[in-house]
């Protein structure tokens, strides 16, 4: 069976392009979620993995959808290979583990080299974004124009943001942990802590 996996980091981002590419590839099942790529503790990914068996294929649009942490990517890649599950990265055709099954040793070498390079690039890209954000804030502070990020989720929010805020409040009042709320609604833990503090 061919499994497709799509991911974006936040609820504001769109999955349509990934889903379209996975459908066109011919995936039998497509799993999507809006969750951070810093590790593989993602409910949808874990559900998909529990259903995968020997001989299945996992298809992702690009390596950053698979994850953004080099060590985590390498560990999960190895687990999939050990379980004899093939992996296809659509925007990097060389990363198709099915191509090298008849070439003893060569396939592993190619995959190891390319995966190491791409996973490093994904991690480096994440690091550059953090640095750019930090530098932008410092410049804004120096100019006296930085007022912090505009809050989306608060009691006076409108539309979708208000619905999400109300759901966070409901879950807090129901005794759910911040971690569980974060997984369910895809909102940053710091934001949930802020709302919880205001409620208290």
Average pLDDT over residues 93-102: 79
Enumerate domains of the chain plus CATH numbers: 2-122 (3.40.50.1390), 159-199 (1.10.10.60)
Q: Quick one: three-class SS letters along 1-61?
A: CEEEEEEECCCCCCCHHHHHHHHHHCCCEEEEEECCCCCCCCHHHHHHHHHCCCCCEEEEC
**Residue 180 scores a pLDDT above 70:** yes
Percent of the chain at pLDDT exceeding 70? 84
Phi and psi at residue 104, to the nearest 5°: -60, 125
Q: What is the pTM of this model?
A: 0.58
Per-chain mean pLDDT for the chain:
83
**Residue 93 scores a pLDDT above 90:** no
pLDDT tens readout for residues 33-90: 988 877 788 899 999 999 999 999 999 998 778 776 777 787 888 889 889 999 999 9
Average pLDDT over residues 149-178: 86
Three-class DSSP category at 86: strand
**Residue 146 scores a pLDDT above 80:** no
Q: Note the pLDDT of residue 147.
A: 57
pLDDT tens readout for residues 1-30: 999 999 988 777 888 989 999 999 999 999
Query: What H or E segment, with its residue span, contains residue 197?
Result: helix 189-199
**Residue holding tokens 């480096």?**
124
């Amino acid at each position: 069976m061919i499994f497709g996996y799509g991911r974006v980091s936040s609820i504001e981002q769109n999955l349509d392009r990934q889903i379209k590419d996975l459908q066109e590839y011919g995936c039998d099942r497509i799993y999507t979620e809006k969750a951070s790529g810093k590790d593989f503790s993602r409910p949808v990914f874990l559900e998909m993995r529990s259903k995968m068996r020997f001989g299945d294929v996992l298809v992702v649009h690009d390596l950053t959808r698979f994850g953004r942490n080099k060590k985590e990517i390498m560990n999960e890649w190895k687990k999939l290979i050990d379980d004899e599950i093939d992996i296809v990265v659509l925007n990097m055709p060389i990363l198709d583990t099915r191509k090298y099954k008849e070439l003893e040793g060569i396939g592993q070498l190619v995959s190891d080299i390319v995966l190491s390079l791409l996973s490093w690039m994904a991690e480096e890209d994440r690091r550059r974004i953090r640095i750019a954000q930090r530098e932008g804030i410092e410049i804004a502070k120096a100019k006296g124009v930085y007022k912090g990020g505009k809050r989306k989720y608060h009691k006076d929010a409108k539309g979708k943001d208000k619905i999400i805020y109300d759901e966070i409040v409901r879950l807090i009042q129901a005794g759910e942990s911040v971690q569980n709320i974060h997984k369910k609604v895809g909102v940053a833990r710091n934001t949930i802590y802020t709302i919880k503090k205001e409620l208290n």
